[in-house]
Amino acid sequence: MTDEITDKLSHFDEAGQARMVNVSAKPITERSARAHAFVKMSPKVLQELHSNPKGNPLEVARVAGILAAKRTADLIPMCHPLPLTFAEVDVHLEAEGVRITTTATTAGQTGVEMEALTAASVAALTVYDMTKALDKGIEIQDLYLLEKTGGKSGSWRRDR
């Protein structure tokens, strides 16, 4: 790998091998991140959501997303385990599916973007899991970071 790439991709050492970044010297700061996912489904599936024999898919997805945010370091190899101070998953029905927005916050030495994204993806997967018997063609779409605050790079917000 070139030095320019390894400088930007801190999860690689000088030889190009994957590594966990040492954040010991970084100051503890307030950090937050918000993420988004959309689960596209047919009107028939949307109508059946509240009569699902497995339970309310939206509430189960909300709880699953929160749990996933807390376990991100167990799922993503180079993520640091973070003491989250807040995790929230909002799940809203829309005409074409379920919109999921997540928030993760911490006071720490590294950001919580992956926690917010993991929460959104697992919440979306949970909606799929609980409704797949009605339609295997349900799509998980538009998983992305909405914004992040804190840390050396400061704030960032997605331009829509």
Catalytic residues: 129
For tokens 């349900």, name the residue. 138
Which residues, in sequence order, are CB contacts of 63 under 8 Å at separation 6+? 89
Strands annotated E in 29-82:
29-40
* Amino acid of residue 156: W
Cα angle: 36, vertex 39, 40; to 5 degrees: 130
Q: What is the C-alpha separation between 109 and 27, in angstroms, rounded?
A: 6
